[in-house]
Structure 1
Amino acid sequence: MQDTGPEPHHIPAYRFWQHYIKNGIEEAGMQWLEVPDADWAAGLTHPVGSAELKDWSSKIWESTLAFIKNNLAKIDIFLCYLYPQQVDTTAIAQIQQWGIPCVNFYCDNVREFSKVPAAFKVFDRMWVPEYEALAMYKEAKVNYIHLPMPMWVDKKYRNTLPNENPQQISFIGSKDNLRQNLLGEAIAKGLNITVRGSGWQPESSVQTVPHPASVLKKIGNQAGFIKQHGLKGYAIKHLQQLSQSAVFEVGEAYIAAKPGHEEYITITQSSAITLGINRVPSHKRLHTNPLTYSRLRDIEAPMLGACYLTEYCEGLNSLYEAEKEILTYKTADELVQQANRLLKDEQMRKALRASGQQRALNEHSIPVSLQKIKAAIFK
């Protein structure tokens, strides 16, 4: 998800993927090339079907094809992270005709799609990290490879841990109703959790005046939503808008400032317990029965040597051995029970740190995933 500006575009965070994947490629002993001055992320700033998106697509794929054609001898695989609206299937087919297999990583299949987008069917392999999405890909008969989320940790953070804070339970992540309800309920049951991340602390009081949308634009947006999520998703969206307030609150006493990069790593490593939450807001399910799937934190925290307690979801058992490498919970009650158990058992915390880190680094790293992609494509 390459871009060219000094600041990221106003879309969900994406720049960390470049950092992780490029460093992972280099650690694997491979080399990467990228199209100079290509702003792939800009493709997500234009409305689907708009003239702006078509213009962006035409220009970026023209320059991409020209660059690849001039560097054919240096390229073995075209690896990308593209949303459906960014994909030009004709351009991908041309790259394949030049003898270069094309692999696309995408990590929000479960949350965003009820069926595999047609644009993804052109790729030689889709890199699918969510276990819950595999059935969708099998049904669509799309070639995929199931691999962990691509996570890279600097070697200076491996196998070296700061002194543990023996009573600190930390969650770092942005605020949403599902997370607030879960953490608030656990806190109400007596668990002392420190919460950090975007949205938990009051934001600036500066207010912006929204531009009124035309009736036709609103209708168009609603039609696009229904096309992607269906009438059921549309109904769920409006039911959840009627109940925006969380049932449980996370009081100010439990909220700390959003950490910078180095502090984030220190907190993750030094906390007695680092929490993961795998439930996500979705138009597929009501908040009372949330959608869950394994997130990037399930790879990152163990790689950093955290004592990791995360929310159970399908497929997690294929990544780690519960009770040996990580601990899991399903409810707020289980979260409180497992956390209190860990707080009382220093030896268990140490064992989880060591075993979880080795499993993540040895089996779930980007170099390991790249070797599996090579083996699958170049049989």
Structure 2
Amino acid sequence: MKILLSFLQDTGQQPHNIPAYRFWQHYIKNGIEEAGMQWLEVPDADWAEGLVHSQGSHELTSWSDEIWDKTLLYIKENRKKIGVFLCYLYPQQINEAVIAEIKRLGIPCINFYCDNVRHFTKVPREFKVFDWLWVPEYEALDMYRRAGINHIHLPMPMWVERTHREGVIHEHPNLVTFIGSKDVLRQNLLGEAISKGLDITVRGAGWLPEAKTQTVIQNSLSQKIANQFSFIQQHGLKGYAIRNLQQFNQPAAYAVDDTHIEAKPDHQEYIQFTQSSAVTLGINRVPTFKRFDTNPLTYSRLRDIEAPMLGACYLTEYCEGLDLLYEPEKEICTYRTADELVQQANRLLKDKARRDALRAAGQKRALAEHSIPASLQKLKAAIFK
């Protein structure tokens, strides 16, 4: 299968000032190659730039016009080389007319999106133009069923280098590690577990003080009203109310003391810590405008695929659909509360044989069933059945 790819590629030396995104093209391109398939991309197309500009802005419109004109021209000139168009596009990046034209050329169009339940109360209108939606969250499936849209439930697209799939892991027998950026939900959960006696090492963006540059953005009254209207369209009146009420909430109930925090790891250190920690933690709760922080939304994240693929002894927060990915207690372990996190981690710290068994079984399952090559074969079968 020959795949034209739009997966947040960019063209600059430095990434755009938006949340981390460059890893996606690294994973998907390598996964496609491992599957024995081929990828193509529109030359000099900066897909990530579409996330830089505010919705409805002149800059976003100019970017959209330019990149979609370039994409359609490239497709027409290379039609025989392209089997499918696989994208990772946010609603504001999508040009429905061009996607419809690509479909008329006989090229199936598939869009991946990984934060459905966090960002949307219903499937965005723009997504309906695609032939298929790649949906990784179990919790989002009902939303797509109700919308009557073709969708396929596949794991997050994760790829790890072959050198990290085998070999002896030099374990630090007492090390419990969480790697991830800071937010109030993670701080409360980890802080509570630490207060109950579990020694957790925390690494990631935002946990240590960083130098800040102050940027003042002046918005006109009309722009503020437009932003609020756009927010309500995406999150609903309930989300608007929750956002405003949460601003008056008390600060985090628990803190993570500096003695438990280490510097944000680079890529190689991230892999090393994930593999060598006696217990590697996952947290699946996310801040959202759908719920208050006291009743957080949870769904399976990329780490639930990545950590087992790397051979971690993995303890993650339970969420719906996780038992479809793994057999709990044999391939991974789960917790629902801070108390359960502490209990499960302590059990694992005392039992190296069990840790080793979890590492081997979890990695075997993830690489065999949840890899990008496995997902692409299922996607191909669904499209060309």
Match of 1:77 in 2: 84
Distance in structure 2 (CA, Å) of the matches to 1:244 and 1:207: 26
The one-letter code sitting in structure 2 at the alignment partner of 1:243 is N
Query: Quick check: 1:178–1:279 contact (8 Å CA) kept in 2?
Result: yes
Root mean square deviation, CA, Å: 0.9
The one-letter code sitting in structure 1 at the alignment partner of 2:277 is S
Post-superposition Cα deviations, 1:218-266, rounded to whole Å, max 9, x if no partner, equal: 2221121111111110111112111261100000000001001101100
Query: Quick check: 1:168–1:271 contact (8 Å CA) kept in 2?
Result: yes
1:265 matches 2:232: no
Alignment match of 2:172 (pick from 165, 174, 192): 165
1:155 matches 2:162: yes
Query: Quick check: 1:43–1:53 contact (8 Å CA) kept in 2?
Result: yes
Match of 1:347 in 2: 353
Secondary structure at 1:150 match in 2: coil
Secondary structure at 2:152 match in 1: strand
Distance in structure 2 (CA, Å) of the matches to 1:262 and 1:48: 36
Secondary structure at 1:250 match in 2: coil
1:32 matches 2:51: no
The offset of 1:161, in angstroms, is 3.7
Aligned CA distance change for structure 1 residues 195 and 98 (closer, same or farther; 3 Å) = same
Q: Which moved more, 1:362-371 or 1:241-250?
A: 241-250
The offset of 1:213, in angstroms, is 2.7
The one-letter code sitting in structure 2 at the alignment partner of 1:108 is D
Distance in structure 1 (CA, Å) of the matches to 2:161 and 2:178: 21
Distance in structure 2 (CA, Å) of the matches to 1:56 and 1:218: 22
The offset of 1:126, in angstroms, is 0.3
The offset of 1:209, in angstroms, is 4.5
Match of 2:3 in 1: none
Q: Which moved more, 1:181-190 or 1:11-20?
A: 11-20
The offset of 1:86, in angstroms, is 0.8
For structure 1, the 5+ residue unaligned runs are none
Distance in structure 2 (CA, Å) of the matches to 1:66 and 1:45: 24
1:118 matches 2:125: yes
The offset of 1:212, in angstroms, is 3.4
Query: Quick check: 1:177–1:246 contact (8 Å CA) kept in 2?
Result: yes
Q: Equivalent residues in 2 for 1:1-379 (5 A)?
A: 1-204=8-211, 206-243=212-249, 245-379=251-385
Secondary structure at 1:36 match in 2: coil
For structure 2, the 5+ residue unaligned runs are 1-7
The offset of 1:211, in angstroms, is 3.0
Distance in structure 2 (CA, Å) of the matches to 1:96 and 1:42: 24
Following TM superposition, where does structure 1 have runs of at least 4 consecutive aligned residues deviating by more than 4 angstroms?
A: none
The one-letter code sitting in structure 1 at the alignment partner of 2:70 is S
Post-superposition Cα deviations, 1:137-196, rounded to whole Å, max 9, x if no partner, equal: 000001101000000000000022431000000000000000000000000000000000
Distance in structure 2 (CA, Å) of the matches to 1:55 and 1:240: 36
Aligned CA distance change for structure 1 residues 107 and 209 (closer, same or farther; 3 Å) = closer
The offset of 1:127, in angstroms, is 0.3
When normalised by structure 2's length, the TM-score is 0.97
Secondary structure at 2:279 match in 1: strand
Percent pairwise identity: 70
Query: Quick check: 1:161–1:269 contact (8 Å CA) kept in 2?
Result: no
Secondary structure at 1:4 match in 2: coil
Distance in structure 1 (CA, Å) of the matches to 2:320 and 2:355: 24
The one-letter code sitting in structure 1 at the alignment partner of 2:219 is A
When normalised by structure 1's length, the TM-score is 0.98
Distance in structure 2 (CA, Å) of the matches to 1:226 and 1:365: 36
